[in-house]
Amino acid sequence: MKIIYLLLDAISYEHSWLSNEGYMPNLKNLTSEGVNFHNHYSVTHNTRGNLATMLYGASSSITGVMGRKQSFRDSGLKSLQKELSENNFTSSYIGTQPLSYSEKKGDNLDFDECLYLTPSMSDFYIPAENFNKFLDVKLKQLKENSLTFLHYTDAHEPYETPENFLNKGEYPLTYKFHYRLANILFRIPRQIYRNYFSIKNIIKKRKVYKEFKYLKNLCNNPYGPINTPERYSWFYEKVWSDKDFYNEYKKMMMISLTYLDKHIGKIINYIKKNHAENTIIFISSDHGNNGIISPDSKKNYSLLSKNSTHIPLSVISFDEKLKKRTFKNLDVSNYTSHVNFYKTILNLVNPNKYENENETIFSNKLNNGFVISEINDSRFNFGECIIRNNMKEIQLKISNSDDINSLKLIKKKDLINNVSDQDYQTYFNFKQNYNLSFN
């Protein structure tokens, strides 16, 4: 079996193909006969924490990975990649976002191939159409019995896809902001110098191109295009202070989604043409679109709001026998999580060995009780844990810290928000059972 995971960075359910058929029409069409999950949640609000969850089968407080500060090796858990290797499966990660933060140089994280095409999606962004050209070659080499992650970052801010044109008609306020006198006289010339004439950046570019051998042909605009308003002072202050300006910013996001949708559609059709037999494709995001959530909302209410953690998940196949054997319902409303990915993959790979069919996302009997999202980081104003199901959402806040153990099982005396005794007991019962039953 070939398992392909299309990881589409930073797409909330609200703005996805599952929420509104006009947003991402190609994916809407391609997933119409797949399994679509309408209450799927990420376990935190960043890429590394969520990928760790998928690779170790537990939430952040158990994997020990909340973000860039922690290494995947901190978990001490057995990775999905190792389990796959023991079942004669290979695993690969190919991404336009590196996972190398807090890792030892050269550590492939138990993947047979762990290929980072760029050191920074901000300074060296690879658009989906270029990524696809690279994947045309890699997918020709796709092996039987393999799990492959393909990580796209086009929907992540800043919105700099090749189809995001800054024009006066579509973005009158943003256009006026970008070409204001201070920018024309000072900031735009400085950006031109930084991009093309700075000795420091020329040396950096040469060094990066030498280390990332494919990047020169994949990155259209090192350090970003000149006419990207997000790279200039006071842009975000305008976004959060002016509703009309915010709506233009959101329109930039929607153009990025349309661009990604078009090129994801192309890669799926390529897979259909060349690898339809015995292939299953997961299409999801790592987390929601944090770029359009206001800083005040994050600071005062929640880092793990639905916009940040409620994400789309669809699973498709072009193999009718595989679909009949695997897909139970086409629309799933029960609550699922990235935590469920680990056992779902193992059940697909070797159901006789792992015997966990009822714990996979395809099972009608899957019952998570609650799905859990967690984060604690000293950079933020508070640490947070939220558990959700279709009846209830319980939010617990604690003092900010980099200590992973702070979220293992929060004590009521450590809460900095008001939580009723009944809700705390519900959380306590779920979390205690969740932590202890992992093994």
Sign of the torsion angle spanned by Cα atoms 273, 276, 279, 284: positive
pLDDT in tens, 140-168: 989 999 999 999 999 999 999 999 999 99
- pLDDT score of 150: 98
pLDDT in tens, 29-55: 999 999 999 999 999 999 999 999 999
Q: What is the pTM of this model?
A: 0.95
pLDDT above 70 for 399: yes
Q: Which whole number is the average pLDDT over 171-183?
A: 95
What the chain holds in terms of domains, given with CATH numbers, is: 2-436 (3.40.720.10)
* CB atoms inside a 10 Å sphere around CB 188: 18
pLDDT above 90 for 209: yes
pLDDT in tens, 51-93: 999 999 999 999 999 999 999 988 789 999 999 999 999 999 9
pLDDT above 80 for 437: no
* Closest to 11 (Cα-Cα) out of 252, 248, 310, 232: 310
Under the banding of pLDDT at 50, 70 and 90, the label for residue 225 is very high
Average pLDDT, the chain: 94
